[in-house]
C-alpha cells in the first residue's frame, strides 16, 4: 500500500514535470518564432542593450586667405563630464572635494556643483560651465586628478584673427538638431559647402561600453566640409583693420567702411566695417556689412563717373572756363551752390574738378553731356544695379532721376544712393583701361581629401563703359585733385595717387539734412600708382567727432594713406622717382624717405631718428648698425617705428603696443617665424622681453583692439583753408551741397 502511494506520487510528479517541460518548450518556440516576449521586441532590446556606437567627428570646412593662411577653422574642444554611477570603476567618490577643485578652474559656483555631483540614479552628468573648454583648460583639470572626471571630445569654430573681416566671414552656431551651422556672412551663404556630417562606428559592447573582443565593427565614415579659399589677403586686411581701429579709437564715428580691391581682376583683398565684432565671442552690435548692404548718398566721389562720361562723349574741355559759386536752373527757385559759396571766380573745368565744384558738374551734365546720355552712363558703370558680388545680402541703391533737380544733383552725388561696392566696381573701369571688373571674394572651393576643385572663380569683365584713353585722362585729372585740390591730405610720398574726395550729407528723421561740423559721410576713393594702378581703396567715415577747425576728412585720410602705403610696400611696389612727385606746398604729415644707417653708430642713428619724430628700437649688443627696417629709401611717417639691428646677440624687445607692421618688420630683420593672432596692437608674446633670440626661432604674438578712447587731437586751421571743403552749412531754402 505504501509502495503504491509512492508510485502514484512519482507519477504525478512526472506528469507535472512533463507538463512544465512542454509549457517551457512551447514558450521557447513561441518566443523564438515571434522574437518577442511580453510585448517586447527581443531583437531590438538586445541591440539596445549590447550594441554600442560612437560618433566619428567630421570637420567643418576651413576658410583660407589667398595665401593659404587660416582665417576660420574647427579646433578640438572638450566638455567636462562626471561619472556618478558607483558601479563604474572610475566615479566621483567625494562630491565636496571634486566640486571645490573644479570650481577654481572652470569658474563656477561650488555649492551648485556639489548638488550636481551628488545626484542619485544618474550614470553621468555634464558640467554646465565646462562645455567646449580649450585643450589647455583640459590639461589643468586633468592635473587635479579628480576620480570620475572625464572629457567628451568635440570641436568648435575658431577665428584666429578675431575681428578680422568679421562681416565677410560671419560666424557659426547651433543649427537644426544642435548641428553646427553658419548663421552669418560666408559661413551662412556657403554652409552647403562647409557643412560637415559626422560618421559613426557601431560595435557589441558590455555594460560599460567596452568593445567585446572578436567583434566586427560597422563604420560609417565622416564627411568633412569643403575648404574655401578667399581673395582676401591677410596682411592687407590687417592693415585695414588696424587703421580703422585707430580712427575709431580717436574719432568715435558712427560707421566706417573700407574696401581694398585689385582693379585688374576685381578681387577683394580686404573689406572691413566698424563697429566690427569678434566671431569667437559673438559680441555683435551691428549685423550689417555696410560695404555691400548700405546704400547712401555718395557725395562727390560720384563726380568721377560724371567726368568719365563727359570725356568719353567728347564733351569735356578742361581748359574751358565757367563762373563758379552758384548755378541757377530755370524754373527752380533754389540755386546749386559750391561748397565755397562765394566760389573761386572764373575758373577752368579742370580747376572745377580739383576744387570739387558742384557748379562745374551741374553745367557738364545739363549743358554739355545731356541728361539722357548721362543716365545711360549710370547704367554702363553699373551704378543702378547690384554687382552680384558673392557675398550675402547685397543691396541696390536708388537712382532718383525723375525731375530736373534730381538729374543735376545725381551728377555730383546727392539724392541718389549707391553702395560702396558699386563704386568700387565702377572705379575698376577708371583704373583698368576702361574694363569694369566684377568684384568677388571667393577664389575657389576645394574638397580637402581629394583636392578636387568644386568651384573656381575667375576675373569677369562686366563691361567697358569707357575707352582706355578716357580712363588715362580721368586718372591724370584725378591725380591733380590729390596734388592740388581737395585731396591733398591723401598724398603719399613716393607714390602717385589718383582719387576723389566725397563729403555727403545725411538725411535726418524729419526729411531734412543733418547739419553741424562733422555731421557728414567723409569718403575717398583712390588708386595707385596712378599710371598703372595695382590697388583701389575706398574709405567712408560717418559722423566722426571732430572739433573745428579739424577737418572731418582727417580720419578718412589717415585710414587711406596708412592702408595704401603699407599695402603697396607689402606688394613690393617700388616708390616712383622723386621728380614725378608733386611740388605742392600743402601741409603734409607723411614723413620722409628713410636714410641708410648701416655702418653708423647705433647711438647716433637712434638720436637722429628720434629728432625726426620716429620711434626707434635697437636690437643687438653691438655698437654698429648692420641692418635696418624699413629699408633705405622707404617712406616713413612721423611716429613710425624704425628697427636697427646691431652686431652681437639679439634679445627680444617688449612688444607691448607694437603694431602688426612693426612685428612683421622685426621678424624679417631677425629671421623669425612669426604667428600673429588677432588684430590691433600686441598684448602678449611667447618669447619674454630680454630673452635671447636667433634666426629661425618661433615668435607668437597676440594682438587686441584698443579699448580706451583718447581725446580728439586738433589740427590748425591751415588745412581747412587749404582744402576749403565742407565748411559751409546750408539753409533750408538752398540746395544742399557736397564737396
CB atoms within 10 A of CB 651: 15
What does the alpha-carbon distance between residue 13 and residue 381 come to, in Å, rounded to a whole number?
A: 106
Q: Specify burial of residue 729 (Cβ count, 10 A radius: 0-12, 13-18, 19+).
A: middle
| Residue 47: pLDDT band with limits 50, 70, 90 | low
Q: Provide the pLDDT for residue 734.
A: 40
What does the alpha-carbon distance between residue 674 and residue 639 come to, in Å, rounded to a whole number?
A: 24
- In the block, residue with C-alpha cell 525723375: 402
Q: What percent of the chain has pLDDT over 90?
A: 46
pLDDT tens-digit readout, 402-447: 999 999 999 999 999 999 999 999 999 999 999 999 999 999 999 9
CB atoms within 10 A of CB 282: 13
Strand pairing class (51-56; 63-64): unpaired
Hey, which CATH number is domain 54-63+73-164+196-228, 3.90.1310.10, 3.20.20.80, 3.40.309.10, 3.40.109.10?
3.90.1310.10
What does the alpha-carbon distance between residue 681 and residue 706 come to, in Å, rounded to a whole number?
A: 7
What does the alpha-carbon distance between residue 214 and residue 159 come to, in Å, rounded to a whole number?
A: 43
284: left (phi over 0), alpha (psi -120 to 50) or beta: beta
CB atoms within 10 A of CB 679: 26
| Residue 700: pLDDT band with limits 50, 70, 90 | confident
DSSP H/E element including 173: strand 171-174
Pick from 135, 200, 161, 140: which is nearest to 69 by CA?
161
CA dist list (Å): 481 to 258, 475, 501? 21, 10, 8
pLDDT tens-digit readout, 75-99: 877 778 888 877 777 888 788 888 8
| DSSP-assigned letter for residue 133 | B
CA dist list (Å): 441 to 243, 389, 452, 511, 626? 21, 8, 20, 36, 42
CA dist list (Å): 314 to 18, 130, 311, 322, 480? 117, 71, 5, 18, 20
What does the alpha-carbon distance between residue 362 and residue 374 come to, in Å, rounded to a whole number?
A: 11
In the CATH hierarchy, which fold is given to the domain comprising 234-580? Beta-lactamase (3.40.710)
Pick from 629, 636, 637: which is nearest to 653 by CA?
629
Strand pairing class (635-636; 592-593): antiparallel
User: Which 3 state secondary structure label does DSSP give 332?
Assistant: coil
DSSP-assigned beta bridge partners for residue 38: none
What does the alpha-carbon distance between residue 607 and residue 452 come to, in Å, rounded to a whole number?
A: 57
Residue 144 confidence (pLDDT) above 90: no
Q: Provide the pLDDT for residue 717.
A: 29
| Residue 100: pLDDT band with limits 50, 70, 90 | confident
What does the alpha-carbon distance between residue 296 and residue 288 come to, in Å, rounded to a whole number?
A: 14
Level-2 CATH architecture, domain 595-629+640-704: 2-Layer Sandwich (3.30)
Helix axis angle, 404-411 to 371-380, nearest 10°: 50
> How many helices and strands (H and E) does the chain possess?
21, 35
Residue 714 confidence (pLDDT) above 60: no
What does the alpha-carbon distance between residue 489 and residue 728 come to, in Å, rounded to a whole number?
A: 19
Q: Are 385 and 396 in contact (CB under 8 A)?
A: yes
* 710/211: higher pLDDT: 211
Three-state SS string across 434-454, please? CCEECCECEEEEECCCCCCEE
* The dihedral sign for the CA sequence 311, 315, 320, 325: negative
What does the alpha-carbon distance between residue 207 and residue 36 come to, in Å, rounded to a whole number?
A: 22
| Residue 6: pLDDT band with limits 50, 70, 90 | low
Catalytic positions, please?
Answer: 300
Q: What pTM, to 2 d.p., does this model score?
A: 0.73
Q: Are 447 and 226 in contact (CB under 8 A)?
A: yes
User: Which 3 state secondary structure label does DSSP give 53?
Assistant: strand
What does the alpha-carbon distance between residue 76 and residue 231 come to, in Å, rounded to a whole number?
A: 27
Amino acid at each position: 500500500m505504501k509502495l503504491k502511494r509512492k508510485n502514484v506520487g512519482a507519477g504525478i510528479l512526472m506528469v507535472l514535470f512533463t507538463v512544465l517541460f512542454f509549457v517551457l518548450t512551447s514558450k521557447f518556440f513561441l518566443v523564438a518564432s515571434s522574437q518577442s516576449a511580453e510585448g517586447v521586441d527581443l531583437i531590438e532590446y538586445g541591440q539596445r542593450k549590447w550594441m554600442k556606437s560612437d560618433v566619428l567627428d567630421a570637420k567643418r570646412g576651413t576658410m583660407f586667405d589667398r595665401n593659404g593662411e587660416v582665417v576660420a577653422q574647427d579646433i578640438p574642444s572638450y566638455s567636462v563630464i562626471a561619472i556618478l554611477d558607483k558601479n563604474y570603476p572610475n566615479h566621483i567618490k567625494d562630491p565636496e572635494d571634486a566640486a571645490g577643485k573644479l570650481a577654481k578652474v572652470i569658474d563656477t559656483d561650488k555649492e551648485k556643483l556639489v548638488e550636481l555631483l551628488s545626484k542619485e540614479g544618474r550614470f553621468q552628468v555634464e558640467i554646465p560651465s565646462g562645455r567646449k573648454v580649450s585643450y589647455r583648460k583640459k590639461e589643468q583639470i586633468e592635473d587635479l586628478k579628480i576620480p570620475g572626471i572625464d572629457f567628451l571630445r568635440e570641436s568648435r569654430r575658431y577665428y584666429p584673427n578675431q575681428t578680422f573681416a568679421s562681416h565677410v566671414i560671419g560666424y557659426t552656431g547651433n543649427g537644426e538638431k544642435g548641428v553646427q551651422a553658419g548663421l552669418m556672412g560666408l559661413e551662412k551663404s556657403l554652409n552647403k559647402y562647409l557643412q560637415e556630417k559626422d560618421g559613426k562606428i557601431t560595435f557589441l559592447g558590455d555594460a560599460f561600453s567596452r568593445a567585446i573582443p572578436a567583434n566586427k565593427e560597422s563604420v560609417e565614415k565622416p564627411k568633412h566640409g569643403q575648404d574655401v579659399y578667399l581673395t582676401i589677403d591677410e596682411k592687407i586686411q590687417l592693415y585695414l583693420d588696424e587703421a580703422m581701429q585707430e580712427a575709431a579709437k580717436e574719432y568715435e564715428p558712427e560707421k566706417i567702411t573700407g574696401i581694398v580691391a585689385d582693379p585688374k581682376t576685381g578681387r577683394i583683398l580686404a573689406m572691413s566695417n566698424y563697429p566690427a565684432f569678434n566671431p569667437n565671442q559673438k559680441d555683435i552690435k551691428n549685423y550689417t556689412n555696410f560695404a555691400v548692404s548700405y546704400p547712401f548718398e555718395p557725395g562727390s566721389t560720384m563726380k568721377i563717373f560724371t567726368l568719365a562720361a563727359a570725356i568719353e562723349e567728347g564733351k569735356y574741355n578742361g581748359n574751358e572756363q565757367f563762373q563758379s559759386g552758384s548755378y541757377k536752373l530755370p524754373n527752380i527757385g533754389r540755386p546749386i551752390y559750391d561748397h565755397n559759396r562765394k566760389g573761386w571766380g572764373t575758373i577752368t573745368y579742370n580747376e572745377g574738378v580739383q576744387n570739387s565744384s558742384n557748379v562745374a558738374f551741374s553745367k557738364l551734365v545739363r549743358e554739355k553731356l545731356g541728361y539722357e546720355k548721362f543716365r545711360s552712363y549710370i547704367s554702363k558703370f553699373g551704378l543702378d544695379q547690384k554687382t552680384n558680388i558673392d557675398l550675402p545680402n547685397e543691396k541696390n541703391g536708388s537712382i532718383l532721376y525723375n525731375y530736373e533737380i534730381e538729374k543735376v544733383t545725381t551728377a555730383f552725388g546727392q539724392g541718389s544712393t549707391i553702395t560702396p561696392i558699386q563704386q568700387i566696381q565702377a572705379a575698376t573701369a577708371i583704373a583698368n583701361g576702361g574694363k569694369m571688373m566684377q568684384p568677388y571674394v571667393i577664389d575657389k572651393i576645394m574638397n580637402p581629401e581629394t583636392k578636387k576643385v568644386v568651384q573656381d572663380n575667375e576675373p569677369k569683365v562686366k563691361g567697358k563703359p569707357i575707352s582706355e584713353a578716357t580712363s588715362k585722362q580721368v586718372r591724370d585729372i584725378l591725380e591733380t585733385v590729390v596734388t592740388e585740390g581737395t585731396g591733398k591730405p591723401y598724398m603719399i610720398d613716393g607714390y602717385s595717387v589718383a582719387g576723389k574726395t566725397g563729403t555727403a550729407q545725411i538725411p535726418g528723421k524729419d526729411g531734412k539734412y543733418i547739419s553741424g561740423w562733422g555731421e557728414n559721410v567723409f569718403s575717398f576713393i583712390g588708386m595707385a600708382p596712378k599710371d598703372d594702378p595695382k590697388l583701389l581703396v575706398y574709405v567712408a567715415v560717418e559722423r566722426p567727432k571732430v572739433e573745428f577747425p579739424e577737418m572731418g576728412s582727417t580720419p578718412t585720410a589717415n585710414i587711406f594713406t596708412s592702408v595704401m602705403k603699407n599695402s603697396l610696400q607689402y606688394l613690393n611696389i617700388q616708390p616712383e622717382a622723386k621728380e614725378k612727385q608733386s611740388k605742392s606746398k600743402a601741409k603734409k604729415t607723411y614723413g620722409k624717405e628713410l636714410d641708410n644707417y648701416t655702418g653708423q653708430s647705433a647711438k647716433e642713428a637712434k638720436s637722429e631718428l628720434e629728432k625726426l619724430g620716429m620711434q626707434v628700437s635697437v636690437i643687438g649688443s653691438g655698437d654698429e648698425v648692420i641692418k635696418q627696417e624699413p629699408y633705405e629709401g622707404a617712406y616713413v611717417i612721423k611716429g613710425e617705428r624704425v628697427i636697427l639691428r646691431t652686431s652681437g646677440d639679439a634679445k627680444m624687445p617688449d612688444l607691448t603696443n607694437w603694431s602688426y607692421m612693426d612685428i612683421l618688420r622685426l621678424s624679417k630683420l631677425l629671421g623669425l617665424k612669426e604667428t600673429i593672432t588677432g588684430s590691433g596692437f600686441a598684448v602678449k608674446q611667447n618669447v619674454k622681453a630680454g630673452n635671447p633670440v636667433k634666426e629661425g626661432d618661433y615668435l607668437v604674438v597676440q594682438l587686441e583692439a584698443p579699448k580706451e578712447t583718447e581725446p580728439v587731437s586738433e589740427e590748425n586751421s591751415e588745412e581747412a583753408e587749404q582744402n576749403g571743403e565742407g565748411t559751409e552749412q546750408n539753409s533750408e531754402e538752398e540746395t544742399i551741397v557736397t564737396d
